[in-house]
Structure 1
Amino acid sequence: MRHLLGCVCLLSTCVAVAMNKQPLAEPGPVAPINALFDAMRAHDAETIRTQFSQGAQLQRIKSDGQVVLSDIDKFANSIAAHKAYLDEQLLSVTVQQSGNLASVWTPFAFYVDNQLSHCGVNHFVVVNTAGGWRIQHLIDVTHEGDCQAFIAEH
């Protein structure tokens, strides 16, 4: 009985430690996405650029359905030149991964100088390259309705 009680206590302690343990900050498909938004907040063009793989695409779906391709260097430079504090907050993150390929879906709210500017959804295709996880494709769409309701929904 004493042996059984000891095992139960040990198991309970292990479970409690595991539940309270902070997740390891190991590289994964979300790492370049988090680094991208951190770099945007810091107005750091070079770090923005390095989150994208060679030949990556950056696109936006306009309200009329037109898909517009943007130049990553111009995007990075425009963020770096912007004087306001830019903060894209991810409302949720859904990752599907198979080996070196991942798809990441992220509803977001975008703030300029701490004021809600717009909201929408990003879709990232992320690849694990020799240099680590990089964004191969980013396409986003801006939500046309009430952002407060959108935020509450996500």
Structure 2
Amino acid sequence: MLRILSILFVLLGSQVMAQNEQEAVKKTIEDFFEGFHAQDSLLMKHEVSESVILQTIGKDETGNSIVKNQPFNEFLKSIVSIPATTKFKEVITNYSIKVDGPMANAWTDYEFMLNNEFHHCGVNSFQLVKDANKGWQIIYLIDTRRKEDCN
């Protein structure tokens, strides 16, 4: 009986640790978006690695899917330069987070609002690595964007 209780204790302990790591990953993403919405480049930079890669999947003029790269510094400049009269918000509607040791993946459905109106929706795919000093850091972000089939 003691052996069974010991096994259960270990299993429950690892489950709690995994949930704690998932919450830490989620907090990193939430903090990134807090900076995004506040147009705070320092807060956004704090949540990403120095070598972060940003990509988006779009369509070319013939409707074929293409992957577009965006340097992080250009992304920051574009966010910071949005006029104060423009209201924008990316609303995460769902999280699916997987963690394996120092690596995590977060798949987040979202809706993007511009001036309080729906603009587009899509999915973000975040890859994160846990740094011994900085904690969870976003190393890769790719997203999709569409105006239809958002439910």
| TM-score bracket for the superposition, by shorter chain length | 0.7 to 0.9
Match of 2:24 among 28, 48, 61: 28
Q: Distance in 2 between matches of 1:50 and 1:99?
A: 21
3-state DSSP of counterpart to 1:92: strand
1:30 CA displacement:
1.5
Alignment of 1:56-95 (within 5 A): 56-63=52-59, 64-83=64-83, 84-95=86-97
Letter in 1 for 2:77: N
Q: Which runs of structure 1 show a deviation greater than 3 angstroms over 4 or more consecutive aligned residues? A: none
> 1:82 offset after TM fit, Å?
0.3
The one-letter code sitting in structure 1 at the alignment partner of 2:101 is: G
Cα shift at 1:59: 0.3
Confirm or deny: 8 A CA contact 1:27 1:133 kept in the other structure.
no
Write the letter of the residue equivalent to 1:48. Answer: M
Q: Deviations along 1:15-45, whole A, 9 cap, x unmatched?
A: xxxxxxxxx9x96111221111111111111
**Which structure: larger Rg?**
1
- Give the TM-score, by structure 1 length: 0.75
Q: Which amino acid counterpart does residue 141 of structure 1 have in structure 2? A: T
Distance 1:69 1:106, change over 3 A: same
SS in 1 for 2:24: coil
* CA RMSD, Structure 1 to Structure 2 (Å): 1.7
Q: Kindly state the Cα deviation for residue 143 of structure 1 after the two structures are TM-superposed.
A: 2.4
1:97-118 deviations in Å (ceiling 9; x for gaps): 1111110000100011211111
Note the alpha carbon deviations across 1:95-148, whole angstroms, 9 max, x for none: 0111111100001000112111110000000111121111010000112524xx
Q: How far apart, in 1, do the equivalents of 2:67 and 2:57 lie?
A: 5
Segments of 5+ residues of structure 1 without an aligned counterpart are: 1-23
